[in-house]
Amino acid sequence: DSGQGDMKNLTADHHLLDGLLTAEFPYGSCRSRYEFSMYHKKSLFHKPSPYLLSKLRKQEELQRRCGPGTAGYKKAMRQLNSSDGAAAAEADDDCRYLVYISLRGLGNRMLAIASSFLYAVLTERALLIDGSKDTADLFCEPFPGTSWLLPRGGRSSALRHLDRYDEGSPVSLGNMLQNGSIVMSADRSNVSWSSPRRPPSHMLLHLAGGYGFNDKLFYCDTVQKLIHDVPWLLMRTDSYLVPGLFLTPIFLGELEAMFPEKEAAFYHLGRYLFHPSNGVWHAVTSYYRSYLAGAGRRVGVQIRVYQKKQPPQQVLDQLLSCIRDEKLLPEAAAETTTASNNGTSDAVLVTSLSSWYHEQLAAEYGGRVAGGVHQPSQEGEQRWGDTAHDMRALSEIYLLSTLDVLVTSGFSTFGYVAQGLAGLRPWVMSRPSPWEEWTEGQAAPEPACQRALSVEPCFHSPSYYDCAAGRDVELDKVTPYIRRCVDVSWGIKLV
């Protein structure tokens, strides 16, 4: 199989991912929308639920009705600019917005955008993305007949410098609770605006790693009811919040109806929302055809390194042990018959900022895997605001997502996105601590790798506070489908 498949043999259902995608976009405008299914096997997951599909179509309508340039958008902009600073969405059909503020690397951004989108669907808001970043170079528009990019021109002052918002912003939920603009009763059952007694025109939800107690009250039903009427919510997050939304009682019924299979939440959301631009997609498909299409079985290795100096030896030891222990690659030399018949051979794809792991793995296994050991890029270090760098990163996430087996670095959102899009449970290699580097002679953790409990990304910064109970709880004991992650002990995930 060349991986290209035969267009005519594929049903429209398969192309459009079982109804997840609308057919409203012309093919050439965004090839990945129509070609994704040719490079990705059907997973073991069920089709998206009819309820999820109806919610997606409804959201598309909302995005079209409220998108930039519409009457609804102009009205909401006027509310934002109004001098009294307090103008709630008044009429039922007024447009309300969720603006996602971009933060950190590509994996973080994709998890955060998927989370923002789901929150927008749950709260019937139009999602707009911080358009000053390279989103438009990386992704096609997901909603037909409109744009999800917040226009740069004509922004009110509240939206002009989105990157200046942080935990210190006076308009954040946490600070408004702190400074008395929002008053909450001691038992947290009652919450209201103080003066003026109306919602503000905009507000910041600061939900990034390391956020404080008051910002985490976002996950309380009372707070959700309070902020419902705020026309503009700005969400600053780097995390996969979806498990947190499942822990917010007000959203639970809707979420359970949308995702009867909890473990497929990101799988469906990611496949719905993200479509690499034609430039990125060309890089994905041409690399795939050159190096991976001929292999019978494709193994991906994602090694996240954090510093430029000599990459840790322990991670190589860990990787080699993991491959050996879990029998992920052949230990004997490839038989000539296999080598001459690529169709049934293995190929390995390594992604990492460092070239060293690829070199070592190729030295060890090059002669044994007939399909070869490949690495698309060696960027050396993570770069910021570099579109070409981000495009390569995105193409590698998508290449990883086409494979049959994944070995990933724990704690890395880059790997989470790849496994989520693939619908695969990876073998995860843990770090001794996410913040500390390996020290000389430090032994790699045992076992070298563990199978992730589910396909879902890990939510690294959940709130342990149960608003109704008024105390912290063990999050992995609340419901059977939320568990701790194998790579981050304080993180949780849907299983």
Q: Which of 317, 374, 313 minimizes the C-alpha distance to 349?
A: 374
Which tokens in the block code for residue 449?
């790798």
Residue closer to ligand GDP (CB basis): 310 or 384: 384
CA distance 407 to 322: 8
- Residue 461 in contact with ligand GDP, rule: CB under 6 A: no
Closest CB 369 distance from ligand GDP, rounded Å: 19
Site for ligand GDP in 386-415 (CB under 6 A): 389-390, 392-393, 396, 412-414
Closest CB 273 distance from ligand GDP, rounded Å: 16
Residue 193 identity (one-letter amino acid): W
Size of the site for ligand GDP (CB under 6 A): 20
Choosing from 94, 379, 404, 476, the residue that interacts with ligand GDP (CB under 6 A) is 379
Residue closer to ligand GDP (CB basis): 255 or 280: 280
Residue closer to ligand GDP (CB basis): 1 or 381: 381
Interaction mask 349-378, ligand GDP, x per CB under 6 A: --xxx-----------------------x-
Residue closer to ligand GDP (CB basis): 79 or 352: 352
CA distance 493 to 242: 9
Closest CB 453 distance from ligand GDP, rounded Å: 19
Closest CB 174 distance from ligand GDP, rounded Å: 24
Residue closer to ligand GDP (CB basis): 17 or 241: 241
Choosing from 96, 275, 304, 374, the residue that interacts with ligand GDP (CB under 6 A) is 304
CA distance 284 to 290: 10
Interaction mask 418-457, ligand GDP, x per CB under 6 A: ----------------------------------------
Residue closer to ligand GDP (CB basis): 45 or 306: 306
Residue closer to ligand GDP (CB basis): 374 or 392: 392
- Pairing between β-strand 465-466 and β-strand 97-101 as defined by DSSP bridges: unpaired
Q: Return the residue matching tokens 């342990």.
A: 464
Which tokens in the block code for residue 245?
């939304």
Residue closer to ligand GDP (CB basis): 119 or 414: 414
Closest CB 302 distance from ligand GDP, rounded Å: 6
Residue closer to ligand GDP (CB basis): 32 or 352: 352
Residue 259 half-sphere exposure toward CB, CA atoms < 13 A? 22
Closest CB 301 distance from ligand GDP, rounded Å: 10
Closest CB 391 distance from ligand GDP, rounded Å: 9
Site for ligand GDP in 90-129 (CB under 6 A): 104-108
Closest CB 365 distance from ligand GDP, rounded Å: 18
N-terminal to C-terminal alpha carbon distance within the chain: 33
Site for ligand GDP in 18-77 (CB under 6 A): none
Choosing from 338, 345, 382, 463, the residue that interacts with ligand GDP (CB under 6 A) is 382
Residue closer to ligand GDP (CB basis): 351 or 401: 351
Closest CB 242 distance from ligand GDP, rounded Å: 16
Those residues whose C-beta lies under 8 Å from the C-beta of residue 283, and which sit 6 or more positions away, are 391, 392, 395
Residue nearest to ligand GDP (CB): 105
Interface segment toward ligand GDP; rule CB under 6 A; list 9-17, 31-39, 335-343, 382-390: 382-390
Residue closer to ligand GDP (CB basis): 216 or 304: 304
Closest CB 182 distance from ligand GDP, rounded Å: 32
Closest CB 105 distance from ligand GDP, rounded Å: 2
Closest CB 482 distance from ligand GDP, rounded Å: 21
Residue closer to ligand GDP (CB basis): 184 or 399: 399
Which residues contact ligand GDP (rule: CB under 6 A)? Answer: 104-108, 304, 351-353, 377, 379, 382, 389-390, 392-393, 396, 412-414
